[in-house]
Structure 1
Amino acid sequence: MKQPIRLRGRGAMAAEAALEASFERARDSAPEELAFFKRLMDAIVYVHAPVSDDARTPRLVQFRHPDGFDAIPFFTSLGKAEAASSAAVKILGVSGRELLSGTRGATLMLNPNDGGVVLYPEEIATWLDRGFLARVERLAAVEFAVRPAQGAPDWLAPAISRSLEHANFVSSAYLLETHAGAEQPPGLLIWLVVDLAFAERAARLVTTAVQPLCSDLDVIIDVAVHDVSQPLPAGLDDPRILPIFTRIKPT
């Protein structure tokens, strides 16, 4: 990442306001979300670095997210960065493009003190490499029965498995067919058994991998996560249901 620059003044403040307005619009709209991330690439955002760090390539401060993972915070405005700072950090301005590229492999969180958004490494890499951003929608839990996925496309299970190869927080994955009654068509369910601290990351990882491949698929695919420390639900005791992915633990 290049040495960041700090920009202030009327133009910088107007740019901050435009970026924050775009972010608010993006919360409930897929097109606005895509527009925001395009704007973010050329916008100036703000990060924290250790105040004593004078390295040519800045080292950025991380914090422990309540879910148990480490993330680099960044902010849409200098004011938000100042509100979250301390005497131990200094504030640097850098373009969104340089930040995402320079911290590749890390987890970032935008505006963490204001209900911001987490960006996981797989999502950032897909955005940088292909300009694709998966749309994730949280749904309320519903009751349904499961059975082996007889009608799943041939490419789906391999695509799921490939996406999980380096995700050591995922223990196993199942591809199931759901049926909630005769009045509703069956759907597909990707059931992930994960370390619960990484539940959201696991779901978003698989969604990011699979969603671009589904444009011609006439079936709903849902993703669910299950705490690896808990027994599998009764529906998965069907001997015909086998995992499509199982992590081999080192001996």
Structure 2
Amino acid sequence: MIGKREMALILLNLKAYEQGIGEKAETLASIAGELAKSSGVRIVISPQATDIAAVSKIVETFAQHVDSAPLGAQTGSILPESAKAAGATGSLLNHAERQISDDDIKTGVARLKALEMESMVCASTPELAAKYAEYGPTYIAIEPPELIGSGVSVSTANPDIVTESIEKVKAVNPSVKVVCGAGISSGEDLRKAIELGSEGALAASAFVKADDPKAVLEDLVGGLK
């Protein structure tokens, strides 16, 4: 298995699924926390902002999104400072379902870094991945939008986009880690992604909506063996 030292990451995005809200989010977090402890794999849950405080007491937690607005009169904004205060250690940025401008990505990465928080910027193409690598995020998740929620993983459907993204990102900033998203739903999907050079995975519906989310997560962790 990839050791904890290499910090392979499985990030589980609960999105706004009914199965991942409130107490249900805490139940999923408990599954993730127990498996993270027993396997030594870094597993992070990304719940809705209203659930960060509860979930972060159970397992490592990223926000699903943060705004670049400054502190102050910013009604409705989710600020990096608020996410950290609630217990998050990082945040997704620019998910296909919550896209933001390049300036906001750059500002968001910088704000998170200043707070000693991590960032995972989503990119749909190798070219965008390379562009975002210039901003110095912790992770870039390569996610062709047509594969999100499809059950067909990017590591299977389009392995070239994974390898090309990794090459382009590392050429710009070798410290930025690249993970696979979009359709990752099994240990086999994750195994293929790791073989291509990915340093982890971003998964969502396959875990959140599963009849047996524990079995799905155990399978994903098995892909790191």
The alignment's TM-score, normalised by the length of structure 2, stands at 0.30
Query: Which is helix-richer, 1 or 2?
Result: 2
Query: Which is strand-richer, 1 or 2?
Result: 1
Bigger CA radius of gyration: 1
Higher relative contact order at CA 8 Å, sep ≥6: structure 1 or structure 2?
2
The alignment's TM-score, normalised by the length of structure 1, stands at 0.28
